[in-house]
Structure 1
Amino acid sequence: MRILVVEDNATLAGGLAAVLKGSGYAVDVVGDGASAVAVLATERFDLVILDLNLPEMDGIDVLRTMRGRQHDAAVLILSARHSLDERVKGLDLGADDYMVKPFDVGELEARVRTLLRRRAGLKAATVSFGEVQLDLNTRSFSSHGAAIDIPARELALLETLFMRAGKVVAKQAIIESLAGFDEDLSANAIEQYVSRLRKRLAPYGLTVRTARGIGYYLEKIQNP
């Protein structure tokens, strides 16, 4: 899952990015409204965390531009503006949620998970494929109640494949979901993550198949 943080406070933006990257998300950061609009014109994101008091262009204008261009990314407004009128205005323009600064990091992470789950069209908090379950609230995998230990980058890859289990996910879509635009993540690196993930999933009856020239998909291993 890929997130864009639009925040002019560099310290806050860096802290948010660190927390979200630590949870396995691909995160990009811009510090003004005009840059946000420019990035959103060429890059795809699942969620935008948007401040309102921005230089160059106000956050409300960024949101208005996004929805006017039919950008379907979820939007979480994160602002010091706490009046009811400001909240209503943001939500009416197409924001999906609104948090007031200062905020609790745990609550922010919970809201991020909820918005991403909603964007994926998932109502239940748990998704199953074969013997493996994905808890969307904690973004953790398990099998028959036992946790499956997976490093952050491989976990993000498995989450991307799991959300579209049985369907081919293009290599470029995987790269975009795992890395920000300041990271150089090659197709070869993706192949290495896939190889490691295959070994981790084998005991649980799942594997990652290659759709040659297109991408990868998750499949149940058939018993001989």
Structure 2
Amino acid sequence: MASSKMEFMVENILNKDDLKSKLLKEPAVSRVEIVGKESVVLESSLSCDAASELLKRETGGTAILWGFGDSNAAVAIMEGSGVRGVIRLGTSRDKGSLIDGTLDGLPPGEHSLQIHVAGDVSEGCKSLGPIYQPNGKLGQIKTESNGRSSFKFYIPDLQVDAIVGRSIAIATPEDEKRYACGVIARSAGLFQNNKKICACDGVTLWDEHYLPAAGLARQQFQNNSSQQTNKKMR
């Protein structure tokens, strides 16, 4: 399976050397670098989802994916009728692309992963345009009986820059039905994500991860802002 670099923000690093030793015992992990108090970089053939679960298991804390691929990276939030998931694309060392995804709600069996020319989802998956050439058909993915599909593979001639703004879809092998699709948007590669606090509402990355906590924090922020505005108007 293809190997990629992934950067995680990890909430509960107590001992760097101990964590590094534990992670390197995983056969699918070839390299570990711990930067500062929260950043963990893995080079691994694990999917991003599986790597996150490994970090959670070894630390007992939360692990949030913060960067993917060596440089240019992109992401597509996949949605369809009962189907949800995320597909990440990152540039590898030799300028090919790594594809990493986790989807839930697909029927069991094999499905086609394909890039389309247009990033137009105004009519759902019907308005994506034709398959992007020459590398639009990325290959087949397999869904387990529980409806989950987790995959990771390498495309040698696909450039991330060339597909940002286009779309990606999951369909039957014959493209008779498209189960889910999403627009490919640029995202952070390694060490490119500097966000710690959302400037719009003051929510930290950890609160933002926990949606109920983020909701409360946003409400508190809005209440405080409203109170300050009212004071100024008096």
Do both share a fold (TM > 0.5)?
A: no
Which structure carries more strand by proportion? 2
Shorter chain as denominator, the TM-score bin is under 0.3
Which structure carries more helix by proportion? 1
Higher relative contact order (CA 8 A, sep 6+): 2
The normalised TM-score by structure 1 is: 0.26
Larger radius of gyration: 2
